[in-house]
Structure 1
Amino acid sequence: MKEPDEVPSSRRELVEAELYEQASRLFAERGFAGTTLQHIADAMGITRPTLYYYVKSKEEILARLVTETTEGKANEVDRIRRDDTLDAPTKLRRISYVLAYSRASQPSRFMLLDRSVAHLPEPVAQRRQEIRQETLDSLVETVEKGITSGQFRPVNPLAAARAIYGMCSWVVNWYRPDGDQPPDEAAREITELAVAMVVQVPRRMPSNSGPQAAVALLRQDLSFLERVLDELNES
């Protein structure tokens, strides 16, 4: 067999794609510690020496899987966050869709990430944590802007962001690729639920009759007014 540098790029890309797909599946099924390079070679139908032409260790495979899975998603979320042409509900809808769809379309990879954190090289683990925080910050910022614009209810932005992030992340625990629902449909449902958690109802009416219900609505309005004044004072 040709050495890696001699293998045509198109052939190499196909082999590597299969390698990482099989590795992510085995890591998710058997656990990182329970998977060997021989298991990966067997799943691909090649010999272990042939596998060494493409990777030198399973740690190298895991690090690349984590980087590819998290970096692309993070870049997309950041592009949405910085797009000033979008209002808060649209941003929240698009960010939530990216998070939910990435997990629904590649559940084995994200299950692998959750189960293999302890085996990640320190720089990769640190970057993964930074990306999680950046994503959460983007959600917090989006919710805050929606509250200030009056499009979202005066909720706790951090609590709302955590709830939305958790809901999108939980997709990997219940979504089944072999089921009746395609991943984009599952992601859209999660997205609409995320927006519904915070969106302002156009015509609010007290849920109950009497002065207490009216006072509750007034408190919401006061909370919203205080947040807007805080934003003005900070600007």
Structure 2
Amino acid sequence: MTADEHTGQSRRSARRDLVESEILAHASALFAEKGYAGTTPQEIADSVGMSRQSLYYYMSSKEDILAKLVAHMTTNLVEQMRFIEMDEDATATDKLSRVVTVIVTDRAKKPREFRLLDRSSSSLPDELTEEYLHGRREALAIVRSVIAQGIAEGEFKPVDERVAALSVLGMCNWVAWWFEPADNHPISPIAEQISDSAVSMLRRTDGPAAGPETPLDLVARLENDIAQLRRSLSD
């Protein structure tokens, strides 16, 4: 393959990814409004602004759209998280910060897709329900693993790993319900602030009075961080 052919192929692949993302975004909005069963392929095509024939060039069926939506919101994200977790040169603090940033950015960029699956996971076809739930379990396992590393290496306080991981994921996922992208509210500072809050919640302190933090302490700290973040956004 020549350099020109490779460049052309890369551009076509990038365009396909862009169009597929747009189809998924419009389909998610229609599924949320009318339900999966009540949405037709023609309505999805009309919403995107393409013919039904063009829609089938990118997606083989409505079922294919739903399957790719689940994959985009679970498998793809978990792969990014796993890559960070497997970085042998990174500290647990660095891993947690990067994992949180990846999740928050994903939720902020695709809030409708996340809300749709979060609300209707029980009504998905069985195989997609299992894929979605498996992805959630994998994400929880990765965050727990990073926290366990931090505890073992003395970076994080000796907390309940599962409660801490659920608290971190809850903070990340909640972004899909309240964040509204705008010129004065870009994603990156929000992701940075939430990742800092997650690390701060777990970072070990050396004060003599410091002791093991209970699950309720973690939840209280998380609620306080979220409240401060929401106040800063409303200013």
User: Does the TM-score normalized on the shorter chain lie above 0.5?
Assistant: yes
Task: Give 1:29 shift.
Answer: 4.2
Give 1:58 deviation, angstroms.
Answer: 2.2
Relative to 1, partners in 2 of residues 1:186 and 1:40: Cα closer, same or farther, differing over 3 Å?
A: same
Structure 1 position 56, deviation (Å) = 4.8
Aligned partner of 1:160 among 153, 160, 164: 164
Identity %: 38
Q: Does 1:10 align with 2:18?
A: no
Number of the residue aligned with 1:103: 107
Q: Aligned-pair distance for 1:24?
A: 2.4
The residue correspondences of 1:217-232 to structure 2 (distance < 5 A) are 217=210, 220=212
Q: Are positions 1:44 and 2:48 aligned together? A: yes
Q: TM-score, normalised by structure 2?
A: 0.75
Paired residues for 1:70-219 under 5 Å: 70-178=74-182, 180-202=184-206, 204-206=207-209, 217=210
Equivalent-residue separation in structure 1 for 2:22 and 2:90 (angstroms): 38
Corresponding residue to 2:28 among 18, 24, 31 = 24
TM-score normalised per structure 1: 0.75
Structure 1 gaps, min length 5? 1-7, 207-216, 222-235
Contact 1:63 1:121 in 2 (8 A): no
Aligned length: 202
Q: Alpha-carbon deviation of 1:57? A: 3.5
Distance 2:22 2:145 in 1: 38
Give, in whole Å, the separation in 1 of the partners of 2:53 and 2:172.
Answer: 40
Mapped contact 2:159–2:212 kept (Cα < 8 A):
no
SS at match of 2:196: helix
Match of 1:229 in 2: none
**Separation (CA, whole Å) in 2 of partners of 1:172 and 1:195:** 20
Distance 1:151 1:17 in 2: 38
Equivalent position amino acid for 1:166 in 2 = G
CA contact (8 A) 1:104 1:186 kept: no
Q: 2:148 & 2:21 partners in 1: Cα distance?
A: 40
Distance 1:158 1:173 in 2: 23
Give yes or no for contact 2:25–2:112 (8 Å, CA) kept in 1. Answer: no
In structure 2, the gaps of 5 or more residues are: 1-8, 214-235
Note closer, same or farther for the CA distance 1:113–1:151 as it changes in structure 2 (3 Å cut): same
Secondary structure of 2:90 counterpart: coil
Distance 1:163 1:133 in 2: 14
Pairing partner for 1:66 from 59, 70, 77:
70
Instruction: Tell me by how many angstroms 1:152 deviates.
Output: 0.9
Separation in structure 1 between the aligned mates of residue 168 and residue 122 of structure 2, nearest angstrom = 25
Alignment-mate amino acid for residue 117 of structure 2: L
Q: Quick one: which amino acid aligns to residue 159 of structure 2? A: V
Q: Deviations over 1:169-211 (max 9, x none)?
A: 1110101123621112211111111111110124x154xxxxx
| Matching residue's letter, 1:122 | D
Cα 1:120/1:220, change in 2 over 3 Å: closer
